[in-house]
Amino acid sequence: MTQKLNIGQLNTLATFDSMNAPVTVFEPDGRILYFNPHCEKLSGYSSGEMVGTYYWNLLISPEDRACSEAAVQKASHGAVISSFENRWACRSGEILWFSWSNSNVCNPDGSVRAIIATGIDLTERKRAEAELARTSENYRNLMSSINGVIWEGDPETHFFRFFSSQAKAIFGFTSETLLSDPDLWWSRIHPDDRDRMKQKMPELLKLPGIHQLEFRFLQEGGHTIWIRDLMTVEIRDGIASGRGIMIDVTDEKRNEVALKQARTQLELALGSANMAAWHLDIPADRATWLGNAEEVLGINPGTFAGTHEAFVNLIVPEDREKVSVAVAHSIVKNDPYAVEFRLKRANGEVIWCLSRGVVLRDAAGKPEIMTGIIVDISELKKIEAERERSLEATRQAVQLREDFISIASHELKTPITPLKIGLTVLRRAFLEGGGQGLSREQLQKMFDISDDQLNRLIHLVDNLLDVSHIRVGKMTLKFSRMSLADAVVKASESLRGDFQESRCTLEFKLDPHVIGQWDRLRVGQVITNLLSNALKYGAQKPVCVTVSQEEGYGILQVSDHGIGIAPDAQARIFRRFERAVSKRSYSGLGLGLFITKQIVVAHEGHIDLFSEPGQGTTFTVKLPLRASSHPADSS
């Protein structure tokens, strides 16, 4: 309803000066007639600056000028506007919001003479509304950006009051559908989880705090997904309220299953490969293990500290520095980590290990994690050692073969040369004088030399044949009852000349009652070989031969006081072609002791030696008095 004031009432404008509200009086064309002090205070413009100017030109914000001019024109035609909003652009640059209502001062004819506009400052409310709008927008953006469904529930009814818009994307149902049918939600929980959820969720909604549930949900299309529900329950003034967020963790669950399967497969692979995986947190100095670390390392998980230092303490002291240096180089210089070392298990067993690893660094390049594997390579080391031993044995065998060929050539030439010389002398004597130039004594000496050299040649050939028979297992024995003492006497008689020539005496301690079932020829060969060996290395000192009996065995001992045998040579002296001393110092094929041992073993006996360098050597042969019913051939 239009309020009409006469001109006399204009005198009351002075009362507006004291009002704590903006009051402005306009002419019908929009020029300002009055601008009260509160307007001056709010706008920063004085009354003198504003009176006479058009209301919308200086003060009104550009966005609102057109609508403000239209409102003045409307009022100038007699309309009363009860509520009109616009913005002032103040001198300070601040924008203020106002809501205006007007009263018209009319002429007697009813035409509008002046317009009185009274305003209310809406700035704080507008700012609050804008902040609320921004907050609401941010909240909506946050809600839409969360990959989860925000919900609110009623602990009393156990029904939901709110679902965010993501419900459609995650559950396959709109929030409106779920809220309109409270039973729908529970019906879509997986049957295997439904009873648990119906029991657990109401219980949790009565307990203040943060809770977590996981369950499976059947989407509208029947597809099963995993949901993790993180809920917060508050109780204020005895009234409980529950809200939370439900997240689709299906991929996470699949990854957990895949990770568990991969871990199981890795543990099986590590177990079958006799290896373990390790993971070192470098800043925390904590090591974790995967696979059969307990079996590989022999550690007790309950007592093992798990630090790098504790692991290093398992390594044998000689290898610790090597491992520490390799770790440091890998961390500092980013070198590949690969090191072999020996590790001592809790039971005292020492094993060989190979460890390989890499260093993982953070975004700044700082070493963070070191991870790798450790493998028990003890068997590989044994194979390598055995291979090296085999190679060394092959090298030695080749060297022995070459030495044997050289020695055999020399040994065979030695008896042949005197024979050839003797035959040459005989031939010349008979061709030149019918043999009249040689005396009987000269002929006898030549025949004796030839006989000795032929015997020596026969002995060499016999040894070679014996070795050949031994290799193919064809050295048979012919057992008969015999005296061990008699065999010693006979063998010593055959070597008497050699002992006399070497000025080496023989001493005997023979028990004539030592009688056994042996191969007479082969036992004689054993005695001859041992006596020849003592004669060769006895340094012209007495050789003692003892025959005795002990617990069903005949005992033969041959002792000399010669150069002795070094400890490292004692283990190999009975091998084929082996010699305790240089071939340059002593002649022989290196077969005598080898053949001797094979003969003794074929009799199911034993041969041992005791020797100290420079003190001489004693060989002890033990032969069973009674042969077995089926004596074994030597092989």
302-338 tens-digit pLDDT: 566 667 777 788 889 999 999 888 888 888 888 888 9
Binning pLDDT at 50, 70 and 90, where does residue 52 land? very high
Q: How confident is the model at residue 582 (pLDDT cuts 50, 70, 90)?
A: very low
> Which residue type occupies 595?
I
For the segment 94-123, what is each residue's pLDDT rounded down to a tens digit?
A: 999 999 988 888 888 888 888 889 999 999
Contacts 24+ apart (CB under 8 A), 257-263: 263/290
Instruction: Say how far apart CA 401 and CA 101 lie, in whole Å.
Output: 129
- pLDDT value for 296: 72
What's the rounded Cα separation, in Å, for the pair 198 and 576?
89
Hey, what domains does the chain have and what are their CATH numbers?
Answer: 4-122 (3.30.450.20), 146-248 (3.30.450.20), 276-370 (3.30.450.20), 382-459 (1.10.287), 473-624 (3.30.565.10)
Task: Kindly tell me the sign of the dihedral angle through the C-alpha atoms of 452, 456, 459, 461.
Answer: negative
- 624-630: which pairs have CB atoms within 8 A and are 24 or more residues apart? 624/516, 624/552, 624/553, 624/554, 625/514, 625/515, 625/516, 625/517, 625/549, 625/552, 625/553, 625/554, 626/516, 626/517, 626/552, 627/479, 627/516, 627/517, 627/518, 627/603, 628/604
| Contact between residue 100 and residue 122 where contact means Cβ atoms under 8 Å apart | no
Range in 224-228, 454-458, 513-517 with the lowest mean pLDDT: 454-458
DSSP letters spanning 338-357: EEEEEEE-TTS-EEEEEEEE
> Do 621 and 607 touch, CB atoms closer than 8 A?
yes
Residue 255 in this model has a pLDDT that exceeds 50: yes
Per-residue pLDDT at 183 exceeds 50: yes
What pLDDT, on a 0 to 100 scale, did the predictor assign at position 336?
Answer: 83
Specify the range with the lowest mean pLDDT, choosing from 229-233, 317-321, 325-329, 568-572.
568-572
Query: In terms of residues, how long is the chain?
Result: 635
Position 630 scores a pLDDT of: 45
- Asked whether the predicted pLDDT for residue 439 surpasses 80, the reply is no
pLDDT band at 284 (very low <50, low <70, confident <90, very high): confident
Comparing 215-229, 352-366, 413-427, 561-575, the range with the smallest average pLDDT is 413-427
Q: Full-prediction pTM beyond 0.95?
A: no
The average pLDDT across 162-167 equals 87
Look-up of token digits 């036992």: 523
Q: Cα 190 from chain centroid?
A: 41
Residue 74: pLDDT band by 50, 70, 90 thresholds? confident
Task: Answer with the residue of higher pLDDT: 404 or 21.
Answer: 21
Whether 203 has a pLDDT exceeding 60, the answer reads: yes
User: Which of 197-201, 444-448, 510-514 has the largest mean confidence?
Assistant: 510-514
Highest-confidence range of 408-417, 428-437, 543-552, by mean pLDDT? 543-552
- Dihedral sign, Cα of residue 316, residue 317, residue 321, residue 327: positive
Mean of the pLDDT values across residues 608-615? Answer: 90
Phi-psi region of 473 (alpha: psi -120 to 50; beta: other; left: phi over 0): left
pLDDT of residue 306: 67
Answer yes or no: is pLDDT of 258 > 90: no
Mean pLDDT in residue range 505-513: 94
Whether the pLDDT of residue 573 is over 70: the answer is yes
129-143, 258-272, 532-546, range with the lowest pLDDT: 258-272
- pLDDT higher for 174 or 419? 174
Half-sphere CA count of 562, side-chain side, radius 13 A: 26
Mean pLDDT of 391-405: 68
Q: What's the pLDDT score for residue 510?
A: 95
**333-369 pLDDT tens trace:** 888 889 999 988 878 889 898 888 888 888 888 888 8
d(CA 338, CA 327): 9
Tell me what the mean pLDDT of segment 630-635 comes to.
44
CA distances from 365 to 283, 327, 338, 368, 379 (A): 14, 17, 21, 9, 39
Is residue 159 within 8 A of residue 253, CB to CB? The reply is: no
HEC readout, 168-205: HHHHCCCHHHHHHCHHHHHHCECHHHHHHHHHHHHHHC
Which helix (H) or strand (E) covers residue 542, if one does? Answer: none
Q: pLDDT exceeding 70 applies to what percent of the chain?
A: 77
Residue 484 and residue 514 in contact, taking contact as beta carbons nearer than 8 Å: yes
Structure tokens that stand for 142 in this block: 């946050």
Q: For the chain, give the mean pLDDT.
A: 81
CA distances from 569 to 388, 396, 613 (A): 20, 14, 11
Residue ranges of alpha helices (H) inside 370-439 are 378-433
pLDDT of residue 46: 93
User: Bridge partners of 196?
Assistant: none
Q: With pLDDT > 90 as the criterion, what percentage of the chain qualifies?
A: 26
Task: Show the tokens assigned to 154.
Answer: 């009623």
Residue ranges of alpha helices (H) inside 61-206 are: 65-76, 123-145, 167-171, 175-180, 182-187, 191-204
Q: How many CB atoms lie within 10 A of CB 199?
A: 9
Mean pLDDT on 207-216: 90
Whole-number pLDDT of residue 599: 87
What pLDDT, on a 0 to 100 scale, did the predictor assign at position 15? 73
